[in-house]
Amino acid sequence: MGISHKAFEEQVLALLGSLNGVARRLMSIPADAEDLVAETVVRAWRARDSLENDAAFRAWIFRILHNTFVSELRRAGARPRLESLECDEAEEEEVQFSIFEQMHQPFLLWFSNPEQEFLDKLLREDLDRALASLPQHHRVVVILSDLEEFSYGEIAEALGIPVGTVRSRLARARGALQKILWQQARDYGLNAVPAALREADEGGAGAPRQATAGATGRKEKGSIR
């Protein structure tokens, strides 16, 4: 059925901030990001007959953007970055890192909330840096879910993967992001880690505090109000 020129233009301009924002987080050089957006718009216009309905435009054009990004990397022979696009689904079984699990102290509840304090002290730069450190396949799901507010169905459509994979990849990506934030907090002077926990923490960078690792047992025993 396709889409009229006017409707296409309106949709592209309405999504331009998102397209450019996602491209900027995928490409390290701003000029490359701009080229990616331009190439995406050209490809989308050429493929406009494949758009089944206007309501699906956002996921459809982001799929074109992502495919363009992958093909540009392949063309440039960027092996290391490409490898980070190909994820190992076997890692799905790994225990997810969680800042909450590291910090939550039920017995401190009435006078302290360390994990919320950690969030309060997180700066925009901390989050930017952590997001940029994620492998591509993790970064893109976090961007689409948390920055662009895509549903799992839209992410699945945009990346050409099943919804179940979106769900598991997003969980792993968030675990990886939290691990980076946790390590950053240590590496940059522990600014976001409350003093009580800094004193208690004897482990190296990123080492989970084993005492809090058994999430389920601890929660079921000690946390019911």
Partner 1 sequence: MTKQEIKCEQALRQIFEYVDHELGEAERATMERHLHTCHSCYSRAEFESRLKVKLGELKKDDPDATVRGRIKSLLDSF
Q: Which residues bind partner 1 (CB under 8 A)?
A: 5, 8-9, 12-13, 16-18, 20-21, 34, 37-38, 41-42, 45, 98-100, 104, 106, 109, 113, 115-116, 119, 122, 124, 127-128, 131, 142, 145-149, 151-152, 167, 170-171, 174, 178, 215-216, 218-220, 222-225
Closer residue to partner 1 (CB): 71 or 116: 116
Cα–Cα nearest to 68, from 49, 31, 42, 30: 42
Query: Whole-number minimum distance, CB 203 to partner 1, in Å?
Result: 21
Q: Where are the alpha helices (DSSP H) in 27-150?
A: 30-46, 57-76, 79-83, 99-103, 114-121, 124-133, 136-142
* Nearer residue to partner 1 within complex by CB, 45 or 84: 45
Helix axes 5-26, 57-76, angle to 10 degrees: 50
Spatial distance between the Cα atoms of 127 and 136, rounded to a whole number of angstroms: 16
Q: How far is the CB of 52 from partner 1 (least distance, A)?
A: 20
CB nearer to partner 1: give 72 or 117.
117
How far apart are the C-alpha atoms of 103 and 190, rounded to whole Å? 13
- Nearest Cα neighbor of 70 from 48, 89, 58, 85 is 85
The minimum distance between CB 133 and partner 1, in angstroms, equals 14
Residue closer to partner 1 (CB basis): 171 or 207? 171
In whole angstroms, how close is the CB of 83 to partner 1 at the nearest point? Answer: 25
Shorter beta-carbon distance to partner 1: residue 40 or 87: 40
Asked if 211 contacts 219 with a C-beta cutoff of 8 angstroms, the reply is no
Least distance (Å) between residue 71 CB and partner 1: 19
Give dist(CA 141, CA 181) in Å, integer: 17
- The nearer residue to partner 1, 136 or 178, going by C-beta atoms, is 178
Q: Quote the least distance from Cβ 22 to partner 1, whole Å.
A: 9
- Retrieve residue 65's tokens: 């953007």
The burial of 102, by beta-carbon neighbours within 10 Å (0-12 exposed, 13-18 middle, 19 or more buried), is given as buried
